[in-house]
Amino acid sequence: MRSSTELKALVVEDETLTREELADLLERMPEIGSVAEADSGEAAVRMLGTETFDVVFLDISMPGLDGMEVARVLGMLSEPPAIVFVTASETHAVEAFGIGAADYLLKPVRPERLADSVARVRAARRPADRDRTAPAPDELSVVQIETGRHTVFVHRDDIQYAEAHGDYVRLHTAEESHLIRLSLSYLEEVWAPAGFVRAHRGYLVSVRWVRDLRVTGSSGLLACTPAGDVPVSRRHARALKERLLEAVRDEQR
């Protein structure tokens, strides 16, 4: 019998060898209770009509119904599973996180990277597990970044905005930028109490570093920081403006 703490996973991939290898990696993980496979987007949708899953590992480029289309179908379910895109290209990373993907893995998938993704999904979907596995905000108040033969320590308070880059996120400070292997949605969750707000599907911005909002003819609305301008989508503009107003009121108290 599957434990209530184990995840039920579905692997959707049209290439047989790739699908079987990923399913095999997942089956070896103690967090995974069962793994089902679908060889097309259409087959996945049929399965999801009769079964429930905790997480779907979803290829993007498939004939017929592609991964993005399947993800939009999943978003209409009353209890949608977490989505982890597995693809050979970084092209769709911004769009993937914009529709709420839990993670974005590049092929060939490394076992340690897959384990990170599974842990993130488990923490997000199981509140009890979240307390044990997800870093508390203070634990990421300093970000440790490995760069070749040395390690860089970046203080969260110095980070002005974060930008999605496939499997990675680029953190921008006033002087430089750094790549770290985390998803933007994960940082959004962990850093929300520290004042980081989603400005765009591919960007987080620190409210304390926003100097003004500016409308341009070519780029639309921008949140201006000393490290650079951050695009603000219509979807996120209202929430960002409200957070900026709250920050000003707090300073005046």
Interatomic CA distance for residues 12 and 65, integer angstroms: 11
Tokens of 152: 């860089």
**The pLDDT value given to residue 131:** 41
Buried-state track 38-50, b at ≥16 Cβ within 10 A, e below 16: bebbebbbebbee
Span 90-111, average pLDDT? 75
Contact 93, 48 (CB under 8 A): no
Task: Please say if the pLDDT value at position 121 is more than 90.
Answer: no
Interatomic CA distance for residues 22 and 108, integer angstroms: 10
Q: Is pTM beyond 0.85 here?
A: no
- What does each C-alpha distance from 215 to 98, 177, 180, 220, 230 come to in angstroms? 22, 25, 30, 5, 11
Q: Report phi then psi at 177, rounded to 5.
A: -135, 155
pLDDT digits (tens, 9 = 90+) for 67-92: 889 988 888 888 889 999 998 876 66
Contact 132, 139 (CB under 8 A): no
- Sorted by where each starts, the structural domains of the chain and their CATH numbers stand as 7-133 (3.40.50.2300), 137-252 (2.40.50.1020)
Residues 6 or more apart whose Cβ sits within 8 Å of residue 128: 5
Contact 231, 199 (CB under 8 A): yes
DSSP reduced 3-state for 143: strand
- AA identity, residue 42: E
pLDDT digits (tens, 9 = 90+) for 6-24: 899 999 999 999 999 999 9
- As to burial, measured by CB atoms within 10 angstroms (0-12 exposed, 13-18 middle, 19+ buried), residue 61 is middle
Higher pLDDT, 69 or 141: 69
Task: Please say if the pLDDT value at position 205 is more than 90.
Answer: yes
